[in-house]
Amino acid sequence: MEKLFQLLAVVLAGIAAYFLWSGSSDAAFVTAVLGAVSFFLGVRFQLKERTRLREAQDAQNEEPVIEENTEEDSQAAGQ
């Protein structure tokens, strides 16, 4: 999905450059803004996927913590 947004951003940047070259500054501005939005959406999808993978890896690496009662804990509970 992020590759689609990155490709769209490049295409829109090219179109914006053409509009700027042809003298249509309003159309160049609109396509440049759409290109920027597309670029940042691609970055967002990349970060979201990276975060999901990191959380899955952290969850896989976590070991359950088993608490053992020591003599001090048993004595403290008995008092």
Q: What does the pLDDT read at residue 25?
A: 95
Q: What does the pLDDT read at residue 65?
A: 61
Please, where are the H alpha helices in the chain? 2-22, 25-61, 71-78
CA 50, CA 77: separation in Å to the nearest integer? 46
Q: What is the pLDDT of residues 9-36, one digit of tens each?
A: 999 999 999 999 999 999 999 999 999 9
Q: Which two tokens stand for residue 75?
A: 């004595």
Q: What is the pLDDT of residues 58-71, one digit of tens each?
A: 888 876 666 666 66
Prediction pTM value: 0.69
Q: What does the pLDDT read at residue 32?
A: 97
